[in-house]
């Protein structure tokens, strides 16, 4: 009898242990509540949100009169249906000229702390507006002409007066209205966000979360709750673009670019500052091999071969898809 019990134990024990290990590694929403996007969206003191400001910003966002020859608007490179990017490796500027970098998504930009854009060349969403607008290769805006148009268009004049009473229609209020609209571009309803409310992710997505926070160490830089550390890292891209180093000439910043946030990332392919990686699996493969020899600078010590199995890579991609909520669509407003 003792022998039978012992034999049974020998048969059952490995399975029980495996089950226990599985339980111990199971991810629980309770442990991830600090990954939840904060409920309130931060706004600067001099540009608090209002429906009038958002409406005005949306009009300006879609208005091609903001570009020098009337062919481009903010929407041209930041399309809601393409993850608020443009689906191209690098954006196409004025007269069909390719830009140096991939169009960054606008999603959850409201939560950004620190400098914005791939190289951190702008201080805030308001400050960022002057980037493409003032660049002769991107929107090549004729600013005096634009301000004259806005001041002389009754529909715009009335809306500016209502949104920013007592303030002139100038590039400051144009930038504030655009930034106000951009702060409404929020993603907080992905499968992952729903899982935080105890709704289901698939078994594969959950395994992907384990890889994301564990073996692949993605969450070291794509950290909660914004899936970014708002930092600048050289991740071993072959591009010769010196990135953040153009703004801050420090050795560590050669070839360093801002960590992008990851909510709705499935919609914004291609990836990286140069748009050289077409799919999320390409991105995972890039990190799995420890990056490429960087075109400039030294790769961050955080980037090293991960030795992920094919299943782990697929699980990780499944989790990245779980970070995407319903596709955002938006019809262009009627312009004054």
| SS3 (DSSP) at 116 | strand
Establish if 250 lies at the interface with other proteins (CB under 8 A): yes
| SS3 (DSSP) at 277 | strand
Establish if 115 lies at the interface with other proteins (CB under 8 A): yes
- Beta carbon nearer to other proteins, 131 or 333: 131
Choice from 120, 132, 236, 291 touching other proteins (CB under 8 A): 120
Establish if 273 lies at the interface with other proteins (CB under 8 A): no
* Rounded Cα gap, residues 145 and 123, in angstroms: 26
Establish if 304 lies at the interface with other proteins (CB under 8 A): no
- Beta carbon nearer to other proteins, 43 or 248: 248
Choice from 92, 186, 223, 330 touching other proteins (CB under 8 A): 223
Choice from 77, 256, 262, 308 touching other proteins (CB under 8 A): 256
Q: Among 304, 283, 298, 292, which residue's Cα sits nearest to residue 245?
A: 298
- Beta carbon nearer to other proteins, 153 or 230: 230
Choice from 287, 300, 306, 308 touching other proteins (CB under 8 A): 300
Reported as half-sphere exposure (CB side, CA atoms, 13 A), residue 204 has a value of 12
- Beta carbon nearer to other proteins, 170 or 229: 229
Establish if 314 lies at the interface with other proteins (CB under 8 A): no
Choice from 29, 87, 231, 295 touching other proteins (CB under 8 A): 231
* Rounded Cα gap, residues 307 and 50, in angstroms: 49
* Rounded Cα gap, residues 307 and 290, in angstroms: 9
Establish if 232 lies at the interface with other proteins (CB under 8 A): yes
Choice from 301, 310, 326, 331 touching other proteins (CB under 8 A): 301
Establish if 88 lies at the interface with other proteins (CB under 8 A): no
> Which window, 20-28, 70-78, 251-259, 261-269, contacts other proteins (CB under 8 A)?
251-259
- For 107-135, letters b (16+ CB in 10 Å) and e give bbbbbbeebbbbbbbbebbbebbbebbee
Establish if 225 lies at the interface with other proteins (CB under 8 A): no
> Which window, 81-89, 252-260, 278-286, 309-317, contacts other proteins (CB under 8 A)?
252-260
How many residues comprise the chain? 336
* Rounded Cα gap, residues 184 and 170, in angstroms: 22
| SS3 (DSSP) at 184 | coil
Establish if 251 lies at the interface with other proteins (CB under 8 A): yes
The residue whose two tokens read 């499935």 is 266
Using the Cα atoms of residue 311, residue 313, residue 316 and residue 321 in order, give the sign of their dihedral: negative
User: What's the CA angle centered on 68, arms 62 and 74, to 5 degrees?
Assistant: 25
Footprint of other proteins (CB under 8 A): 113-115, 120, 217, 220-221, 223, 229-233, 248, 250-253, 256, 300-302
């Amino acid at each position: 009898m003792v022998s039978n019990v012992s034999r049974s134990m020998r048969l059952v024990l490995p399975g029980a242990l495996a089950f226990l290990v599985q339980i111990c590694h199971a991810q629980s929403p309770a442990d991830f509540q600090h990954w939840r996007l904060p409920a309130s969206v931060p706004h600067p003191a001099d540009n608090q949100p209002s429906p009038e400001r958002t409406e005005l910003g949306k009009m300006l966002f879609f208005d091609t009169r903001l570009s020098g020859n009337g062919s481009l608007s903010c929407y041209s490179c930041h399309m809601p249906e393409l993850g608020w990017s443009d689906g191209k490796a690098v954006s196409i500027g004025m007269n069909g000229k390719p830009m140096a970098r991939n169009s960054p998504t606008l999603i959850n930009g409201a939560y950004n702390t620190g400098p914005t854009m791939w190289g951190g060349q702008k201080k805030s969403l308001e400050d960022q507006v002057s980037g493409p607008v003032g660049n002769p290769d991107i929107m090549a805006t004729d600013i005096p002409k634009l301000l004259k148009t806005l001041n002389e268009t009754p529909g715009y004049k009335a809306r500016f007066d209502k949104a920013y009473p007592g303030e002139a229609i100038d590039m400051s209020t144009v930038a504030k209205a655009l930034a106000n609209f951009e702060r409404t571009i929020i993603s907080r309803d992905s499968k992952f966000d729903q899982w935080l409310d105890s709704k289901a992710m698939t078994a594969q997505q959950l395994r992907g979360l384990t890889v994301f926070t564990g073996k692949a160490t993605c969450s070291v830089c794509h950290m909660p709750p914004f899936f970014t550390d708002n930092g600048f890292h050289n991740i071993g891209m072959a591009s010769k673009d010196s990135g953040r180093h153009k703004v801050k000439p420090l050795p560590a910043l050669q070839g360093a670019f801002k960590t992008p946030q990851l909510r709705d990332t499935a919609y914004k392919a291609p990836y990286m500052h140069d748009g050289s990686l077409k799919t999320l699996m390409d991105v995972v493969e890039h990190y799995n091999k420890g990056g490429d020899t960087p075109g400039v600078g030294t790769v961050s010590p955080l980037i090293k071969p991960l030795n992920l199995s094919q299943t782990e890579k697929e699980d990780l991609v499944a989790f990245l898809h779980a970070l995407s909520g319903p596709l955002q669509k938006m019809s262009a407003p009627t312009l004054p």
